[in-house]
Amino acid sequence: MPAKPILVVDDSESVREAISKILQKQGYSVMTASDGEEGINLLQKYDIPLVLTDLKMPKVDGAELLKVAKTISPDIEVILITGYGTVEVAVEVMKEGAFDFIQKPVDKTTILNRVRNALEKQSLRLENKWLHEQLKTIQGSGNIIGKSAAMRKVMDLVGQVASSSATILITGESGVGKEVIAQAIHEQSSRRGKPFIKVSCAALPETLLEAELFGYERGAFTGAIARREGRFELAHGGTLFLDEVGDINPAVQVKLLRVLQNGEFERLGGGKTFRADVRVIAATNIPLKQAVEHKKFREDLYYRLNVINIHIPPLRDRGDDDIELLAHHFLSLYGKKNNKQVSGFAKEAREVLKKYRWPGNVRELENTIERAVVLTRSEQITIDDIPEEIVAAVKESPVISVGERILNIPIGKIPLKEIERMVMEETLKQSKGDKNIASKLLGISTRTIYRRLDEEEDGLD
Protein backbone atom coordinates (compact mmCIF):
# COMPACT_ATOMS: atom_id res chain seq x y z
CA MET A 1 0.00 0.00 0.00
CA PRO A 2 1.21 3.57 -0.67
CA ALA A 3 2.91 5.40 2.17
CA LYS A 4 1.47 8.74 1.02
CA PRO A 5 -1.81 9.65 2.77
CA ILE A 6 -5.30 9.65 1.28
CA LEU A 7 -7.27 12.77 2.17
CA VAL A 8 -10.93 12.38 3.20
CA VAL A 9 -12.92 15.65 3.21
CA ASP A 10 -16.50 15.72 4.52
CA ASP A 11 -18.42 18.02 6.86
CA SER A 12 -20.02 14.95 8.46
CA GLU A 13 -17.81 13.53 11.19
CA SER A 14 -19.53 10.12 11.02
CA VAL A 15 -18.85 9.84 7.27
CA ARG A 16 -15.20 10.87 7.71
CA GLU A 17 -14.70 8.29 10.45
CA ALA A 18 -16.47 5.52 8.53
CA ILE A 19 -14.38 6.03 5.37
CA SER A 20 -11.16 6.44 7.38
CA LYS A 21 -11.69 3.13 9.22
CA ILE A 22 -12.40 1.26 5.96
CA LEU A 23 -9.19 2.57 4.39
CA GLN A 24 -7.00 2.19 7.48
CA LYS A 25 -8.01 -1.46 7.91
CA GLN A 26 -6.61 -2.08 4.41
CA GLY A 27 -3.29 -0.49 5.35
CA TYR A 28 -3.81 2.97 3.81
CA SER A 29 -2.58 6.10 5.56
CA VAL A 30 -5.44 8.58 5.98
CA MET A 31 -5.78 12.30 6.71
CA THR A 32 -9.16 14.01 7.26
CA ALA A 33 -10.59 17.51 6.88
CA SER A 34 -13.99 18.80 8.00
CA ASP A 35 -14.39 21.30 5.15
CA GLY A 36 -12.91 22.36 1.81
CA GLU A 37 -10.70 25.11 3.24
CA GLU A 38 -9.01 22.72 5.66
CA GLY A 39 -8.64 20.23 2.82
CA ILE A 40 -6.88 22.81 0.62
CA ASN A 41 -4.48 23.67 3.44
CA LEU A 42 -3.54 19.99 3.79
CA LEU A 43 -3.09 19.62 0.02
CA GLN A 44 -0.69 22.56 0.00
CA LYS A 45 1.27 21.17 2.94
CA TYR A 46 1.50 17.43 2.13
CA ASP A 47 2.13 15.22 -0.90
CA ILE A 48 -1.34 13.66 -1.25
CA PRO A 49 -2.08 11.36 -4.21
CA LEU A 50 -5.85 10.88 -3.71
CA VAL A 51 -8.75 12.90 -2.29
CA LEU A 52 -12.22 11.62 -1.37
CA THR A 53 -14.42 14.67 -0.92
CA ASP A 54 -18.07 15.41 -0.28
CA LEU A 55 -19.57 17.37 -3.17
CA LYS A 56 -21.91 19.62 -1.15
CA MET A 57 -20.15 21.43 1.69
CA PRO A 58 -20.36 24.98 3.11
CA LYS A 59 -17.76 27.60 2.12
CA VAL A 60 -15.61 25.58 -0.33
CA ASP A 61 -17.53 22.70 -1.95
CA GLY A 62 -16.18 19.57 -3.63
CA ALA A 63 -16.22 21.12 -7.11
CA GLU A 64 -14.05 24.02 -5.99
CA LEU A 65 -11.75 21.70 -4.05
CA LEU A 66 -11.30 19.63 -7.21
CA LYS A 67 -10.19 22.70 -9.21
CA VAL A 68 -7.70 23.76 -6.52
CA ALA A 69 -6.36 20.19 -6.16
CA LYS A 70 -5.71 19.94 -9.91
CA THR A 71 -3.96 23.33 -9.78
CA ILE A 72 -1.70 22.13 -6.96
CA SER A 73 -0.91 18.91 -8.85
CA PRO A 74 -2.54 17.68 -12.09
CA ASP A 75 -1.70 14.12 -11.00
CA ILE A 76 -3.93 14.17 -7.89
CA GLU A 77 -6.96 11.89 -8.27
CA VAL A 78 -10.27 13.09 -6.80
CA ILE A 79 -13.28 10.91 -5.98
CA LEU A 80 -16.54 12.76 -5.23
CA ILE A 81 -18.99 11.64 -2.52
CA THR A 82 -22.55 12.60 -3.40
CA GLY A 83 -25.92 12.42 -1.73
CA TYR A 84 -29.25 11.70 -3.39
CA GLY A 85 -30.15 14.39 -5.91
CA THR A 86 -26.58 15.49 -6.62
CA VAL A 87 -25.60 12.67 -9.01
CA GLU A 88 -26.21 14.83 -12.11
CA VAL A 89 -24.04 17.56 -10.62
CA ALA A 90 -21.32 14.98 -9.87
CA VAL A 91 -21.36 13.77 -13.47
CA GLU A 92 -20.88 17.36 -14.66
CA VAL A 93 -18.06 17.94 -12.18
CA MET A 94 -16.32 14.78 -13.41
CA LYS A 95 -15.80 16.60 -16.71
CA GLU A 96 -13.48 18.91 -14.77
CA GLY A 97 -11.17 15.99 -13.99
CA ALA A 98 -12.65 13.96 -11.12
CA PHE A 99 -11.84 10.26 -11.31
CA ASP A 100 -15.27 8.96 -10.22
CA PHE A 101 -18.05 9.48 -7.70
CA ILE A 102 -19.59 7.43 -4.88
CA GLN A 103 -23.20 7.75 -3.75
CA LYS A 104 -24.14 7.93 -0.08
CA PRO A 105 -24.62 5.85 1.94
CA VAL A 106 -21.10 4.63 1.24
CA ASP A 107 -20.21 0.94 1.44
CA LYS A 108 -16.87 -0.74 1.98
CA THR A 109 -16.63 -2.64 -1.33
CA THR A 110 -17.41 0.41 -3.48
CA ILE A 111 -14.94 2.64 -1.63
CA LEU A 112 -12.08 0.14 -1.83
CA ASN A 113 -12.73 -0.61 -5.52
CA ARG A 114 -12.79 3.11 -6.45
CA VAL A 115 -9.69 3.87 -4.41
CA ARG A 116 -7.75 0.92 -5.85
CA ASN A 117 -8.74 1.83 -9.42
CA ALA A 118 -7.86 5.49 -8.92
CA LEU A 119 -4.41 4.70 -7.51
CA GLU A 120 -3.71 2.14 -10.24
CA LYS A 121 -4.65 4.64 -12.93
CA GLN A 122 -2.48 7.27 -11.29
CA SER A 123 0.45 4.86 -10.97
CA LEU A 124 0.18 3.91 -14.64
CA ARG A 125 -0.01 7.55 -15.73
CA LEU A 126 3.01 8.52 -13.63
CA GLU A 127 4.95 5.53 -14.94
CA ASN A 128 4.09 6.49 -18.53
CA LYS A 129 5.17 10.07 -17.83
CA TRP A 130 8.48 8.82 -16.40
CA LEU A 131 9.04 6.54 -19.38
CA HIS A 132 8.35 9.39 -21.83
CA GLU A 133 10.87 11.55 -19.97
CA GLN A 134 13.41 8.72 -20.13
CA LEU A 135 12.81 8.38 -23.87
CA LYS A 136 13.41 12.13 -24.30
CA THR A 137 16.75 11.92 -22.48
CA ILE A 138 18.10 9.35 -24.93
CA GLN A 139 17.01 11.04 -28.17
CA GLY A 140 20.61 12.11 -28.74
CA SER A 141 21.47 8.48 -29.45
CA GLY A 142 19.24 8.35 -32.53
CA ASN A 143 16.83 5.45 -32.36
CA ILE A 144 18.85 3.54 -29.76
CA ILE A 145 16.45 2.99 -26.87
CA GLY A 146 17.88 1.80 -23.58
CA LYS A 147 19.06 2.82 -20.12
CA SER A 148 20.73 -0.43 -19.02
CA ALA A 149 24.46 -0.51 -18.32
CA ALA A 150 24.95 -2.84 -21.30
CA MET A 151 23.26 -0.44 -23.73
CA ARG A 152 24.95 2.60 -22.20
CA LYS A 153 28.24 0.89 -23.01
CA VAL A 154 27.09 0.37 -26.61
CA MET A 155 25.98 4.02 -26.89
CA ASP A 156 29.29 5.26 -25.51
CA LEU A 157 31.18 3.13 -28.03
CA VAL A 158 28.97 4.42 -30.86
CA GLY A 159 29.85 7.98 -29.86
CA GLN A 160 33.55 7.14 -29.73
CA VAL A 161 33.82 5.43 -33.12
CA ALA A 162 31.39 7.54 -35.15
CA SER A 163 33.95 10.24 -36.00
CA SER A 164 36.55 7.71 -37.16
CA SER A 165 36.77 6.07 -40.59
CA ALA A 166 37.48 2.60 -39.18
CA THR A 167 35.54 -0.43 -40.38
CA ILE A 168 33.13 -1.73 -37.74
CA LEU A 169 31.75 -5.21 -37.11
CA ILE A 170 28.48 -5.30 -35.16
CA THR A 171 27.71 -8.67 -33.56
CA GLY A 172 24.70 -10.02 -31.73
CA GLU A 173 21.73 -12.33 -32.04
CA SER A 174 19.12 -11.87 -34.74
CA GLY A 175 16.71 -9.07 -33.94
CA VAL A 176 18.83 -7.16 -31.39
CA GLY A 177 18.96 -4.01 -33.52
CA LYS A 178 22.25 -4.13 -35.41
CA GLU A 179 20.94 -1.92 -38.22
CA VAL A 180 19.77 0.69 -35.70
CA ILE A 181 23.30 0.85 -34.28
CA ALA A 182 24.79 1.14 -37.78
CA GLN A 183 22.42 4.02 -38.60
CA ALA A 184 23.28 5.75 -35.33
CA ILE A 185 26.99 5.56 -36.17
CA HIS A 186 26.30 7.01 -39.62
CA GLU A 187 24.12 9.83 -38.24
CA GLN A 188 26.77 10.83 -35.71
CA SER A 189 29.60 10.74 -38.25
CA SER A 190 30.86 13.37 -40.71
CA ARG A 191 29.15 11.33 -43.45
CA ARG A 192 25.63 11.89 -42.02
CA GLY A 193 24.49 14.03 -44.96
CA LYS A 194 25.51 11.32 -47.42
CA PRO A 195 23.77 8.01 -48.30
CA PHE A 196 23.31 5.15 -45.85
CA ILE A 197 22.99 2.06 -48.05
CA LYS A 198 22.05 -1.36 -46.69
CA VAL A 199 22.77 -4.71 -48.34
CA SER A 200 21.17 -7.83 -46.87
CA CYS A 201 23.79 -10.39 -47.83
CA ALA A 202 21.67 -13.37 -46.70
CA ALA A 203 18.68 -12.31 -48.81
CA LEU A 204 20.52 -12.33 -52.16
CA PRO A 205 21.56 -15.44 -54.12
CA GLU A 206 25.33 -15.87 -54.52
CA THR A 207 25.11 -15.07 -58.23
CA LEU A 208 23.40 -11.72 -57.63
CA LEU A 209 25.30 -10.47 -54.58
CA GLU A 210 28.45 -9.59 -56.54
CA ALA A 211 26.43 -7.62 -59.10
CA GLU A 212 24.49 -5.91 -56.32
CA LEU A 213 27.63 -4.77 -54.53
CA PHE A 214 29.85 -3.77 -57.47
CA GLY A 215 27.40 -3.12 -60.30
CA TYR A 216 27.67 -4.36 -63.88
CA GLU A 217 28.05 -3.25 -67.48
CA ARG A 218 25.59 -3.95 -70.23
CA GLY A 219 25.98 -7.54 -71.47
CA ALA A 220 27.97 -8.65 -68.42
CA PHE A 221 25.60 -11.61 -68.05
CA THR A 222 22.28 -12.85 -69.42
CA GLY A 223 19.65 -10.27 -68.59
CA ALA A 224 22.09 -7.38 -68.12
CA ILE A 225 20.42 -5.18 -70.75
CA ALA A 226 21.71 -1.91 -69.29
CA ARG A 227 24.58 -0.69 -67.15
CA ARG A 228 23.83 -0.53 -63.42
CA GLU A 229 25.70 1.07 -60.55
CA GLY A 230 26.46 -1.13 -57.54
CA ARG A 231 25.90 -0.36 -53.87
CA PHE A 232 29.51 0.79 -53.41
CA GLU A 233 28.93 3.51 -56.00
CA LEU A 234 25.50 4.44 -54.60
CA ALA A 235 27.01 4.79 -51.12
CA HIS A 236 29.80 7.10 -52.34
CA GLY A 237 30.77 9.52 -49.57
CA GLY A 238 28.48 7.73 -47.13
CA THR A 239 28.14 4.42 -45.34
CA LEU A 240 27.60 0.91 -46.69
CA PHE A 241 25.97 -1.46 -44.20
CA LEU A 242 26.59 -5.15 -44.96
CA ASP A 243 24.03 -7.10 -42.95
CA GLU A 244 24.73 -10.82 -42.30
CA VAL A 245 28.18 -10.50 -43.80
CA GLY A 246 28.97 -14.07 -42.72
CA ASP A 247 26.80 -15.36 -45.58
CA ILE A 248 29.00 -13.87 -48.33
CA ASN A 249 30.43 -16.51 -50.68
CA PRO A 250 34.23 -16.97 -51.11
CA ALA A 251 34.42 -15.26 -54.51
CA VAL A 252 32.74 -12.10 -53.28
CA GLN A 253 34.85 -12.21 -50.09
CA VAL A 254 37.97 -11.78 -52.25
CA LYS A 255 36.53 -8.71 -54.01
CA LEU A 256 35.31 -7.22 -50.76
CA LEU A 257 38.75 -7.68 -49.22
CA ARG A 258 40.30 -5.76 -52.14
CA VAL A 259 37.91 -2.83 -51.62
CA LEU A 260 38.74 -2.70 -47.92
CA GLN A 261 42.48 -2.93 -48.58
CA ASN A 262 42.87 -0.63 -51.60
CA GLY A 263 39.51 1.11 -51.98
CA GLU A 264 39.25 -0.20 -55.55
CA PHE A 265 36.75 -2.30 -57.54
CA GLU A 266 35.43 -2.92 -61.05
CA ARG A 267 31.90 -3.47 -62.26
CA LEU A 268 31.08 -6.93 -63.58
CA GLY A 269 31.94 -7.07 -67.28
CA GLY A 270 33.91 -3.81 -67.13
CA GLY A 271 37.60 -2.91 -67.05
CA LYS A 272 37.41 0.53 -65.48
CA THR A 273 38.64 0.73 -61.90
CA PHE A 274 36.55 2.79 -59.46
CA ARG A 275 37.63 4.33 -56.17
CA ALA A 276 35.32 3.68 -53.23
CA ASP A 277 34.91 6.55 -50.77
CA VAL A 278 32.75 4.49 -48.42
CA ARG A 279 32.74 3.64 -44.74
CA VAL A 280 31.86 -0.07 -44.32
CA ILE A 281 29.89 -1.29 -41.32
CA ALA A 282 29.23 -5.04 -41.25
CA ALA A 283 26.96 -7.11 -39.04
CA THR A 284 26.56 -10.78 -38.26
CA ASN A 285 24.62 -13.05 -35.92
CA ILE A 286 27.09 -15.92 -36.25
CA PRO A 287 30.52 -16.22 -34.55
CA LEU A 288 32.75 -15.23 -37.49
CA LYS A 289 35.90 -16.41 -35.74
CA GLN A 290 34.50 -19.94 -35.71
CA ALA A 291 33.62 -19.57 -39.41
CA VAL A 292 37.28 -18.63 -40.01
CA GLU A 293 38.45 -21.70 -38.09
CA HIS A 294 36.14 -23.89 -40.21
CA LYS A 295 37.50 -22.28 -43.42
CA LYS A 296 34.09 -20.78 -44.28
CA PHE A 297 35.24 -17.18 -43.96
CA ARG A 298 38.55 -15.60 -44.93
CA GLU A 299 40.76 -14.77 -41.96
CA ASP A 300 42.24 -11.66 -43.60
CA LEU A 301 38.74 -10.35 -44.40
CA TYR A 302 37.62 -11.04 -40.83
CA TYR A 303 40.41 -8.88 -39.42
CA ARG A 304 39.71 -6.14 -41.98
CA LEU A 305 36.05 -6.05 -40.91
CA ASN A 306 36.66 -6.46 -37.20
CA VAL A 307 38.79 -3.35 -36.66
CA ILE A 308 36.23 -2.24 -34.07
CA ASN A 309 33.71 -4.68 -32.63
CA ILE A 310 30.41 -3.59 -31.11
CA HIS A 311 28.50 -6.41 -29.46
CA ILE A 312 24.80 -5.84 -28.80
CA PRO A 313 23.41 -7.86 -25.88
CA PRO A 314 20.20 -9.87 -26.30
CA LEU A 315 17.06 -8.19 -24.95
CA ARG A 316 16.75 -10.74 -22.12
CA ASP A 317 20.08 -9.47 -20.69
CA ARG A 318 19.14 -5.79 -20.80
CA GLY A 319 16.74 -5.73 -17.86
CA ASP A 320 13.12 -4.73 -17.23
CA ASP A 321 13.68 -0.97 -17.71
CA ASP A 322 14.87 -1.42 -21.30
CA ILE A 323 11.94 -3.70 -22.12
CA GLU A 324 9.48 -1.12 -20.75
CA LEU A 325 11.19 1.76 -22.57
CA LEU A 326 11.13 -0.14 -25.86
CA ALA A 327 7.52 -1.27 -25.35
CA HIS A 328 6.37 2.31 -24.76
CA HIS A 329 8.41 3.55 -27.71
CA PHE A 330 6.72 1.05 -30.03
CA LEU A 331 3.33 1.75 -28.42
CA SER A 332 3.68 5.45 -29.25
CA LEU A 333 5.03 4.69 -32.74
CA TYR A 334 2.28 2.29 -33.80
CA GLY A 335 -0.43 4.21 -31.97
CA LYS A 336 0.32 7.19 -34.24
CA LYS A 337 0.65 5.01 -37.36
CA ASN A 338 -2.73 3.36 -36.71
CA ASN A 339 -4.41 6.53 -35.40
CA LYS A 340 -5.24 4.85 -32.08
CA GLN A 341 -5.13 6.34 -28.58
CA VAL A 342 -3.58 3.66 -26.35
CA SER A 343 -2.36 5.07 -23.05
CA GLY A 344 -0.16 2.25 -21.78
CA PHE A 345 -0.08 -1.32 -20.50
CA ALA A 346 -2.30 -2.98 -17.92
CA LYS A 347 -0.40 -4.48 -15.00
CA GLU A 348 -0.72 -8.14 -16.13
CA ALA A 349 0.37 -7.30 -19.67
CA ARG A 350 3.35 -5.36 -18.36
CA GLU A 351 4.44 -8.29 -16.20
CA VAL A 352 4.23 -10.72 -19.13
CA LEU A 353 6.36 -8.43 -21.30
CA LYS A 354 9.01 -8.23 -18.57
CA LYS A 355 9.07 -11.96 -17.77
CA TYR A 356 9.12 -13.30 -21.34
CA ARG A 357 12.58 -14.25 -22.66
CA TRP A 358 12.21 -12.64 -26.14
CA PRO A 359 14.17 -15.13 -28.24
CA GLY A 360 13.48 -12.87 -31.24
CA ASN A 361 14.81 -9.89 -29.26
CA VAL A 362 13.77 -6.30 -30.06
CA ARG A 363 12.26 -7.29 -33.41
CA GLU A 364 9.91 -9.77 -31.71
CA LEU A 365 8.94 -7.19 -29.09
CA GLU A 366 8.22 -4.61 -31.79
CA ASN A 367 6.04 -7.04 -33.75
CA THR A 368 4.20 -8.00 -30.55
CA ILE A 369 3.42 -4.37 -29.66
CA GLU A 370 2.35 -3.51 -33.22
CA ARG A 371 -0.05 -6.46 -33.23
CA ALA A 372 -1.41 -5.51 -29.80
CA VAL A 373 -2.02 -1.90 -30.87
CA VAL A 374 -3.87 -2.98 -34.00
CA LEU A 375 -6.06 -5.56 -32.23
CA THR A 376 -6.78 -3.93 -28.87
CA ARG A 377 -10.25 -2.58 -28.13
CA SER A 378 -9.18 -0.99 -24.86
CA GLU A 379 -7.45 2.23 -23.86
CA GLN A 380 -4.62 0.06 -22.54
CA ILE A 381 -2.84 -3.01 -23.84
CA THR A 382 -4.22 -5.90 -21.78
CA ILE A 383 -2.99 -9.46 -21.41
CA ASP A 384 -5.65 -10.51 -23.96
CA ASP A 385 -3.82 -8.42 -26.59
CA ILE A 386 -0.56 -10.35 -26.08
CA PRO A 387 -0.11 -13.47 -28.27
CA GLU A 388 -1.21 -16.65 -26.48
CA GLU A 389 2.13 -18.39 -27.05
CA ILE A 390 3.97 -15.60 -25.20
CA VAL A 391 1.54 -15.64 -22.25
CA ALA A 392 1.73 -19.45 -22.14
CA ALA A 393 5.55 -19.42 -22.22
CA VAL A 394 5.62 -17.07 -19.22
CA LYS A 395 3.06 -19.09 -17.24
CA GLU A 396 4.86 -22.36 -17.95
CA SER A 397 8.29 -20.98 -17.06
CA PRO A 398 9.91 -22.76 -14.14
CA VAL A 399 11.55 -20.42 -11.65
CA ILE A 400 15.19 -20.52 -10.57
CA SER A 401 16.14 -18.47 -7.51
CA VAL A 402 19.62 -16.95 -7.43
CA GLY A 403 19.99 -15.05 -4.17
CA GLU A 404 17.35 -12.30 -4.27
CA ARG A 405 16.80 -12.56 -8.03
CA ILE A 406 14.18 -14.80 -9.63
CA LEU A 407 14.97 -16.13 -13.12
CA ASN A 408 12.08 -17.35 -15.30
CA ILE A 409 13.10 -20.10 -17.71
CA PRO A 410 10.71 -20.90 -20.62
CA ILE A 411 10.24 -24.67 -20.95
CA GLY A 412 11.97 -26.11 -23.99
CA LYS A 413 13.05 -22.68 -25.19
CA ILE A 414 16.59 -22.43 -23.81
CA PRO A 415 19.44 -24.97 -23.95
CA LEU A 416 20.94 -26.19 -20.68
CA LYS A 417 24.19 -24.35 -21.42
CA GLU A 418 22.32 -21.06 -21.69
CA ILE A 419 20.55 -21.66 -18.35
CA GLU A 420 23.91 -22.40 -16.73
CA ARG A 421 25.28 -19.16 -18.20
CA MET A 422 22.35 -17.14 -16.84
CA VAL A 423 22.72 -18.56 -13.33
CA MET A 424 26.50 -18.07 -13.33
CA GLU A 425 26.23 -14.44 -14.57
CA GLU A 426 23.63 -13.58 -11.94
CA THR A 427 25.74 -15.19 -9.20
CA LEU A 428 28.79 -13.20 -10.31
CA LYS A 429 26.72 -10.00 -10.23
CA GLN A 430 25.55 -10.71 -6.69
CA SER A 431 29.08 -11.55 -5.56
CA LYS A 432 30.34 -8.32 -7.24
CA GLY A 433 32.60 -10.28 -9.58
CA ASP A 434 34.37 -12.22 -6.81
CA LYS A 435 34.84 -15.64 -8.41
CA ASN A 436 35.81 -17.28 -5.11
CA ILE A 437 32.50 -16.27 -3.50
CA ALA A 438 30.59 -17.18 -6.68
CA SER A 439 32.18 -20.64 -6.80
CA LYS A 440 31.11 -21.32 -3.20
CA LEU A 441 27.55 -20.16 -3.89
CA LEU A 442 27.35 -22.37 -6.98
CA GLY A 443 29.14 -25.33 -5.46
CA ILE A 444 31.72 -25.48 -8.25
CA SER A 445 35.44 -24.71 -8.48
CA THR A 446 36.83 -21.34 -9.54
CA ARG A 447 38.59 -23.20 -12.37
CA THR A 448 35.17 -24.22 -13.75
CA ILE A 449 34.00 -20.57 -13.64
CA TYR A 450 37.10 -19.39 -15.53
CA ARG A 451 36.66 -22.16 -18.10
CA ARG A 452 32.99 -21.25 -18.69
CA LEU A 453 33.88 -17.57 -19.07
CA ASP A 454 36.62 -18.41 -21.57
CA GLU A 455 34.17 -20.54 -23.56
CA GLU A 456 31.69 -17.66 -23.65
CA GLU A 457 34.32 -15.17 -24.84
CA ASP A 458 35.35 -17.54 -27.63
CA GLY A 459 31.72 -17.77 -28.71
CA LEU A 460 31.42 -13.97 -29.00
CA ASP A 461 34.49 -13.46 -31.15
- Do residues 71 and 178 share a domain? no
Q: What is the pLDDT of residues 198-218, one digit of tens each?
A: 999 988 887 789 889 998 888
Identify which has the larger pLDDT, 241 or 102: 241
In a domain, 54, yes or no: yes
**What CATH code is carried by the domain that includes residue 95?**
3.40.50.2300
On whether residue 1 sits in a domain, the answer given is: no
Are residues 229 and 203 located together in one domain of the fold?
A: yes
DSSP secondary structure code for residue 5 in this structure: P
CA-based end-to-end distance of the chain? 48
Residues 303 and 180 in one domain: yes
> Minimum mean pLDDT among 15-24, 324-333, 341-350, 431-440: which range?
431-440
Residue 297: is its pLDDT beyond 80? yes
**Cα–chain-centroid distance for residue 172?**
17
Residues 151 and 276 in one domain: yes
- Is there a contact between 313 and 172 (Cβ–Cβ < 8 Å)? yes
Confidence tier at 58 by pLDDT (50, 70, 90): confident
Do residues 391 and 401 share a domain?
Answer: no
Question: In percent, how much of the chain has pLDDT > 90?
Answer: 50
Q: Would the pLDDT of 30 be above 60?
A: yes
Return the CATH number at 223. Answer: 3.40.50.300
| Domain match, 151 and 119 both | no
More confident residue, 33 or 445: 33
Give pLDDT, residue 140: 45
Note whether 385 and 458 are same-domain residues.
Answer: no
Which residues, in sequence order, are CB contacts of 395 under 8 Å at separation 6+?
A: none
| Domains: count for the chain | 4
d(CA 415, CA 330): 30
Domain membership of residue 331 (yes or no) is yes
Whether residues 113 and 215 fall in one domain: no
3-class DSSP assignment, residue 234: helix
In this structure, what CATH number is given to the domain that contains residue 367? Answer: 1.10.8.60
Q: What is the pLDDT of residue 307?
A: 95
Q: What is the mean pLDDT of residues 6-21?
A: 91
C-alpha span between 386 and 272 (Å, rounded): 56
Same domain, 34 and 93: yes
DSSP string, 303-332: HHHTTEEEEPPPGGGS-HHHHHHHHHHHHH
- Does residue 89 have a pLDDT over 80? no
Residue 88's SS3 state is helix
- H-helix or E-strand spanning residue 8: strand 6-9
Per-residue pLDDT reduced to its tens digit, 154-199: 999 999 999 999 999 999 999 999 999 999 999 999 999 999 999 9
In a domain, 136, yes or no: no
Q: Are residues 361 and 389 in the same domain?
A: yes
Q: Which helix (H) or strand (E) holds 39?
A: helix 36-45
Which of these, 56, 97, 59, lies nearest to 75 by C-alpha position? Answer: 97
Biggest CA–CA distance in the chain, Å, is: 98
162 assigned to some structural domain: yes
Q: Same structural domain for residues 155 and 77?
A: no
The last residue of a domain, from among 282, 311, 340: 311
Q: Are residues 360 and 242 in the same domain?
A: no
What is the domain-level CATH number for residue 403? 1.10.10.60
Residue that is last in its domain, among 256, 282, 311: 311
Assigned domain for 171 exists? yes
The parent domain of residue 373 ranges over 315-396
Domain final residue pick, 249, 276, 311: 311
**pTM higher than the cut 0.85:** no
Q: What is the pLDDT of residues 333-342, one digit of tens each?
A: 999 999 998 9
Please report which confidence band the pLDDT of residue 395 belongs to, taking 50, 70 and 90 as the band edges: confident
Distance of CA 97 to the CA centre of its chain: 31
Q: Lowest-pLDDT range, 73-82, 236-245, 280-289?
A: 73-82
Residue 132 maps to a domain: no
Residue 133 belongs to some domain of the structure: no
